[in-house]
Structures are given as C-alpha cells and as structure tokens.
Structure 1
Amino acid sequence: MTETADAQQGFDIRAFTRSAVGSHSDALPLDAFAERPLTPDTVRTLAYLRDVERATMHHMRDVLVTPSHKDARLTAFLATWAFEKYWIADAFDRIVGAQADSVHAERGLVGRALHRIDETRDRLAPIGTAIAANLIGEDVIATHVTRGAIDEYWTREVYSALSDAEARPELTELLATFAHVRSRHRVFFEEEALRRLAETDGARRLTRAMLSRRFLPTGMREEPSAETRYVFRSLFPDARSRGRIARIDRRIDALPGMGGLRVMQRAAQRFGAAA
C-alpha cells in the first residue's frame, strides 16, 4: 500500500507504527504512591485493568485466525496496538506490585484455579474460531473492529471514573497519559467500524447479533465475575455513573445499524451497577 492510499483511508498506519509508545516505567510515580499509598479499592481496580490488558494477546490471536489476517493494514495496526497495550499492562502491574501484596495473593489463587481451564481453551478456541469465521467471510472483520471501538469507549469512561474516585493528581496524570496513547486506537477502530458496518447488511447483522448477546469488553469475560461486579459497582454506583454508561451506549448507537441495543446499560444492570 502506498502512502497516498493509506492517507485516503484516514488513519495513518505508518505514522502510528513509527511512533509506538513503549515502556512507561520511567514516568511512574511509584515514590509518591509509596509515600502516600493508593486506596485498596483503587489497587484492586488497577489489578483488574492490568489483567484485562493482558488478555490482548489472546484476543489478537483469535482475531488473526479469521479473514482479518488477509488485511495488511489491519494486521499492521494490531501489532502496534498490542505492543502499546502490553506496556500499559506493565505499568499497572508495577503499581500494583509496589502497593499491595494482598492483591497478588488474592488474585493469584483465582488465577491458578483458572489457569488450567485457560490452557485448554487456548488450545481449542482458535480452531473453532477459525472454522466459524472463515465460513462467514470478511463480514466478521466488522465485529472485531466494532469490539475494538467499544473497548476504547469503555476504557475512557473507566479511567475518568477511577480518576474521580481516587482524586490523586499523580494517578490522574498517569491515566491521562494512557488515555492519550489509546486515543489513536479509538480513532482507528471507530473509522474501521463505521466503514465496514456501512458496507454490507451481513456485517451489520453479524455485529448486532454479537452485541445483542451478553457482551462485555475484551478481557472482561475471562475475569472472575466477582471482580467484574466489583469494578462495575465501585466505579459506576450513582446517577453520574448512569451518564458515563449512557455515553458509551450513545457512541455505540451512532455506529451503522447498532442503535437501541443498550449494550453497556445491560452489562451494568447484570453486574449490579447504576444503569
């Protein structure tokens, strides 16, 4: 693909890959957090966000066994996207590791219990995914990029809610940095979702079917339900929370053929949060 062709599609893949953001370790305010520790609620939430980010590689693997792997522009984006998300997960891990051994112990027990299940799923899931997706064809790509867009809508609201809940300037600045890194992810996924959903009825039907089920952002389904419930209830407990959840759903409504699904409101209700 030429530079001109890439520019015509909007998002500049070459610029994105050339300016990928790596490790945040030098910018982490670990000394400030050591002097004045984060609350246990915040540490628990950061541990959850870390583990959700770590699901990126599994998700990308599942995506790339579908017809998505034939799209060079998409695969180039995903490689850098996964790289940037890896380093965000690393930053969360460093903060959690410096703050609370109890979080490690609590989640470690759960993690070990689920590890064997995950190993089996990891071996078998790509086979079923590949067979089903390749039978469907390229319309399945619309589901992947729509999911990516929703992940970014959700993450933006989570970061904002967490900043309000903890009200620590150091944490707010750090989350703003991560939000800035991820803003390019949102632009790409949203552009692709708008384009692909507008192209075919099949893409819209398939994506709407995915969102009509018990949809959750990427990585959350693999987390213990108790942890997901905790995050929903602690970050989205009140009327202001309803505004955040509704804002995500309005963005989803704006995607072609996706209106009226109440995707995140239904998820919030399922996990006992304000909706």
Structure 2
Amino acid sequence: MKTQKTRAFLKWAGGKYTLTEQITQILPDAEKLVEPFVGAGSVFLNSDYERYHLNDINPDLIALYTILKRRPQQYINDARRFFITQNNHESAYYALRERFNHSQDDYERALLFLYLNRHGYNGLCRYNRSGGFNVPFGRYVRPYFPERELEYFAAKAKKATFTCLPFNQIFKRVRKNAVIYCDPPYVPINTTAMFTDYSSNGFSLDQQVELARLATHASQNRGIPVLISNHDVDFTRNIYQHAEIRGLKVKRSISQNGATRVPVSELFAYFRGHATV
C-alpha cells in the first residue's frame, strides 16, 4: 500500500497535490483513469490504476511528458544543465524565455519548459494571445532541480498514454471500465479572478457548461463515472445539478507570499456512473 505522497516535478497553479487523498477516496475502482486536464499530474502520481490516459491542451506539457517517458535519463541529464547559478539571473531568464518562444524543436522546448517552470514567477504557466510564454522571472535563491520527481514520473508513465486534444474528444474516446477525473481551469470567483491564460486559447463559461453536459451524458448514458473539481459558486452548482456535490475549503492563491493565502470554497462534483446492462 502506497502511503507516501509523490510531488509533481512541475510547479502548478491550482495543482491538486494537497487534495489527492480526498480525490482518490471518491474515485471508484476501474481499469483506467482518464484525465482530460492532467496539468502537473498529481492525481496520476498518487493513484493506483492499471492504465492511464493523460491529456492536456498545452502541447509543450504533453511533449515534455512524452519525451520524459521515452528518454528519461537523457532528458534528466540535459535538463540539469540549465539549473546553474549563471542561469538564475533576470537577464539569463529572459534570454532563455526568448529562446523558448522562438524554438521549433520539441526537445529543446521541453528542456526550457522545465527551466522556465522552476525559475519563473510562482511556477505559473501562462501564454499571451500569440502563444508566447510570458511569465516573469521568479527571483528564487536556489531553484530546485526535481530529479527524483522526474524519475518517478518517467517510471509510472509506462502505464500512461499521452494526448494533446480538446476535452470533448477525450470523452468520445473513453470506454467502459474507465473513470474520468477533470480538473479544468476554474470558473472565476469574480470577474477579476479569471485565470484562463494557461494555454493561449483560454477556457470559456460555455466550455464549462459543455464539460458538465459531457459528464452527465457519460455518467447517465454510458455508465462512466466522472469527478470534476471547480470553485463552489452558484454557476457551478447549477451546471453540476446532476452530480453529487461535496464542498470544501482550500487555501489557494497565485501569490509568492504564503501568508496572503486565504481559504476559498471549492467543490467536487461526482457524476456516479450507472452500470448499463
């Protein structure tokens, strides 16, 4: 029985590391876990399924995961070379960020993606409307190189298939004996709190409604359980009306100052799959 939790090798705004126990307690047994919004992969890393289908709309993220799965030691050795004192300065960071934004090589982008994630402000992953990574320098004393976490991810990734597709296409591909966990970009608590620049396309309220519809359909018509995380607001309570809802308080902030992090209301919406005969 696995008791020690595993951290993702990427820093991630809204990552689910602190909630993995609650999530895995809700998720039912199945052969496969499907994640249409895998992010940094904390649920994948801290769950126990025979197979995984891990998807994300961010092509840099999925390219990194695919490379790490196929060439773990080469990737780790090459990525480590960026974690040197000379690169932990503002001028070096912006030069490497510019190099990343102009690179067309998947392997080089994968190396730089990890560097930017660990040296950029608060581990944010944000792109402008032109697709350029635009997170500012983070000013950390000594950015951590996550070698052990990379090795663990690479080993477990042997069980996983990675794709970079819209979430609705993932729902179409899911078959019986699978369970779906969705951690989409959250509905804003207010109009100034929307954080949708994770990919250059954003995530609209219409897409939130479509995700809820697909979850309802998968559960009621195909017998596939779906669990969704989101903010606990009137909008989500309404679109998840066919789910079992569990509210919780979570300390969440996109801020370097931990003292400013205050509890916010989140929810789990569990669409319990009804077995079809």
Q: Do they superpose with TM above 0.5?
A: no
Normalised by the length of structure 1, the TM-score is: 0.35
Higher strand share: 2
- The TM-score normalised by the length of structure 2 is 0.35
Report the structure, 1 or 2, having the larger helix content.
Answer: 1
